[in-house]
Amino acid sequence: MPALIDNSLSEPSDKPLSVLAVPAFNDNYLWLIHDGRHAAVVDPGDAQPILAALDANGLTLVAILLTHHHADHVGGVQTLLRHFDIPVFGPAGEDIAGVSQTLKEGDTATVPQLGLTLSVLDVPGHTSGHIAYVAQGQPWLFCGDTLFAGGCGRLFEGSPAQMVDSLAKLSRLPSDTQVYCAHEYTVSNLRFALAVEPDNPALVARMASEQAKRKRQQATVPSTIALENATNPFLRYQQATIIASLQASGRLGDQARQADPVAAFAALREWKNNFK
């Protein structure tokens, strides 16, 4: 094993920051934020692809950022800590081994070697303590499994009301914000979206574009908040067209048309859970 690397006193580079996608497992994306010299990793579920990417790009890891406790997001942390003496940022509401700085909404995560500061949002729903990171000075959102391209995470621990509030926070971010979610689920998500809202022209165009990317073996993420607001049914669940689809499918009674947006969201999420 290589010697433990401590870069806590390294000076930041003057190069601009960029984000590198590191594929892992069947459909995960692990994200490396880097300046050509230093890097921070978001949700390293597997250490080996990260170590390989660091080596291939001549990068040294200086921080780990975690959104939630699921193994495909934290499974590589302990191995990375055997290589690098670095801070691990994670949600205050979840117990994750190795986390050295817990975060909640209103806090910031600072990575001085990158000149990077990220604001933290509480976005429970997928898990009870899930957080998201919004880069300051960069149009970047790292949202784990809360918001997906064309979809949202399953409600394993949180409630529909929590997820409604969490997604509302993200939908209000600037429209050009790039959405770095953690999975390549886009085409599958858009198939469901088209079943719910088949006459949405932006959605039809998006499906064609994303399918073309996948045929070329290209990633469909990052997305943008503008694109999600125009095409993602879990941000559009109060649209009349989606309410009508829920009612026509027998998933939502007439009385819910205006009275209970959370009921509409819950019905939509349950539909997606069982969608083939």
Catalytic residues: 68, 70, 72-73, 126, 145, 183
69 is in an annotated binding site: no
Cis peptide before 12 (omega within 30 of 0): no
Q: Where are the beta strands (DSSP E) in the chain?
A: 18-24, 28-34, 38-42, 60-65, 88-91, 101-103, 108-111, 116-122, 131-135, 140-144, 147-148, 151-152, 178-181, 223-224
User: Is 130 labelled as part of a ligand binding site?
Assistant: no
Q: Is 83 annotated as a binding residue?
A: no
Q: What is the DSSP letter of 114?
A: G
End-to-end CA distance of the chain: 45
Instruction: Show Cβ contacts of residue 187 under 8 Å, excluding neighbours closer than 6 positions.
Output: 207, 210, 211, 214, 220
Binding site annotation covers 38? Answer: no
Distance CA 32, CA 29 (A): 10
Is-contact 190 207, C-beta < 8 A?
yes
Residues annotated within the binding site for Zn(2+) are 68, 70, 72-73, 126, 145, 183
